[in-house]
Amino acid sequence: MIKITKHHVIKSIYVLIDIACIFFSIWLACWIRETTLPFDVHFNNIFVNSANPFLPIFLFWGLVAIFLNDGLHLYETRREIFETAEIWSVFRSVFVSTLFVIVAIFIVKVIHFPRSVLFLTSLAMVLTFSLWRILKRMFVGYLVAQGYNNFNALIIGCGKVGKVLVKEIEKRPALGIKVIGFLDDFKDPASEPDGPKILGKMADFMTVARWEFIDKVFVTTHHDDRAFLQLLEEAKELGIAVRVVPHGFELTSGEFAKYNIGLIPILEYCDAQPFHRQIGKRIFDFLIALAGTAIFLPFFLVIAVIIRMDSQGSVFYKSRRYGRGGRIFNMYKFRSMVANADQVFDAIRDRNEVDGPIFKIKQDPRITRVGRILRKYSLDELPQLFNVLQGQMSLVGPRPLPVDQVRKEDLRQLKRLQVRPGMTGLWQIRGRSDLSFVRLVKWDVWYINNWSFWLDLNILIQTIPVVIRGKGAY
């Protein structure tokens, strides 16, 4: 006898919602293109009436779509993956199911099946599948943030990686992960009274896991084989999931390849970015920059007039920056400082308020009244759309640093100079000018190692509210 669990009930509900979406998508496409169909458009004629020559195709399409959705784990609520990744799986499922339908139409020789109905149904399925999953994620995220179905987690290793992992978990309450504390063989809990909560050493795992009702374990340090195998055995005995942070993850690509050679699982580290993906990034940058230039052109004119009315000097400011491969280019900005700002710089050089080679002070006397507003809302950065069009910059990437403030030979810069600098990036959404230079470099390196189109899109979307709030810019 099959035991019906909560998982089975939730999965059944998800499947029923998808079936409703499929019916609605087919009905909508038929309704829009009713004149191309040999029957009156209503539910009975589309899905029940055997006289409908397209009924087998519609039913086949629904079955294939459900099967593919299940194969791509779309009937699971996986909190750890990005929302965009789930939508990408939806797109893949609908695309492949549509190909199956096209092949079926040719094999069965269904005559006069409207191509417009095929296209509209596919589009509607992508939209409806995605929409309800976005709403589901919002609802589940709300419940989890309120404490529903949360997990207690234990982290092995209280080093740099472990502490960063805790911060990332705390930023994502929708994950429903509550970090109870750390196990560390090399740190004394008394040595860090105000630091992370160290509950013991790895040898204490069984006791701590039972006492604290641990559900998940994250391993961030790599001990010898004997200690690790013992941890796995003890976790298995307690029914606790063990997740391992890959060794050296910060130096490699975030898209690890996993495969098997016989019985041996292999995790492949690779920093090389596929050439076609970089071409796709450049095309995306060019098209968005071109559209952005056309949209913002009237604002350019208004800002230019206001700058000239506020102070003497050129409307635009050109700053020599390091670009990809260490090549120097002129980055364009709306002038936000007085005309002789470079000459005044020597007098205030010792007032720098940030670490590293970058110069920043909150009350910079060189900034004009209009310049403060432009900087707060990043309006002074808009002319960099022209740099993007010329291929000197990207929409998203490491921030280009001034030539006179940073030496190209600085080892911290070598990784950053592998890609085109960006108008925005992780520095923008993580703190802007409030971000330390060390943290800025760290996030830039992480971005380069983990780049993907969806990461760029996510950063662009998150940049909008950050800029509107105007926090951290000066």
Task: Print burial letters for 348-376: b (CB count within 10 Å at least 16), e (below 16).
Answer: eeeeeebebbbbeeeebebbbebbebbbb
pTM tops 0.85, yes or no: no
Mean pLDDT over 450-464 rounds to: 83
Per-residue pLDDT band for 274 (boundaries 50, 70, 90) equals very low
Higher pLDDT, 374 or 271: 374
Q: How far apart are CA 304 and CA 336, in angstroms?
A: 11
Q: Do residues 30 and 53 make contact, with C-beta atoms less than 8 angstroms apart? A: no
Closest of 217, 219, 253 to residue 237, by C-alpha:
217
Express each pLDDT in 340-351 by its tens digit.
777 776 677 666
**CA torsion through residues 113, 115, 116, 117, sign:** positive
**CA torsion through residues 12, 17, 20, 26, sign:** negative
The CATH code of the domain at 151-245 is 3.40.50.720
Mean pLDDT over 216-236 rounds to: 84
pLDDT at 276: 47
**CA torsion through residues 162, 165, 169, 170, sign:** positive
What DSSP element (H or E) covers 468?
A: helix 453-469
- Looking at this protein, which amino acid is placed at residue 272? A
- Looking at this protein, which amino acid is placed at residue 470? G
Q: How far apart are CA 208 and CA 223, in angstroms?
A: 19
Express each pLDDT in 263-273 by its tens digit.
677 776 655 45
What DSSP element (H or E) covers 241?
A: strand 241-244
Whole-number average pLDDT of the chain: 81
Q: How far apart are CA 180 and CA 62, in angstroms?
A: 45
Annotated domain spans of the chain: 6-145, 151-245, 275-469
Q: How far apart are CA 344 and CA 338, in angstroms?
A: 9
Per-residue pLDDT band for 7 (boundaries 50, 70, 90) equals confident
Whether the pLDDT of residue 419 is over 60: the answer is yes
Per-residue pLDDT band for 18 (boundaries 50, 70, 90) equals very high
Token pair for 294: 């056309």
CB proximity list for 390: less than 8 A, separation 6 or greater: none
Whether the pLDDT of residue 129 is over 90: the answer is yes
SS3 letters for 13-70?
Answer: HHHHHHHHHHHHHHHHHHHHCHHHCCCCCCHHHHHCCCCCCCHHHHHHHHHHHHHHHH
Q: How far apart are CA 61 and CA 211, in angstroms?
A: 51
Q: Do residues 395 and 388 make contact, with C-beta atoms less than 8 angstroms apart? A: yes
Mean pLDDT over 383-391 rounds to: 93
pLDDT at 412: 57
CA dihedral 401, 402, 406, 410 (to 10 degrees): 40
Token pair for 89: 């799986």
Closest of 41, 60, 62 to residue 52, by C-alpha:
41
Mean pLDDT over 107-120 rounds to: 84
Closest of 473, 457, 446 to residue 167, by C-alpha:
446
Higher pLDDT, 428 or 82: 428
Per-residue pLDDT band for 275 (boundaries 50, 70, 90) equals very low
Higher pLDDT, 357 or 184: 184
pLDDT at 162: 85
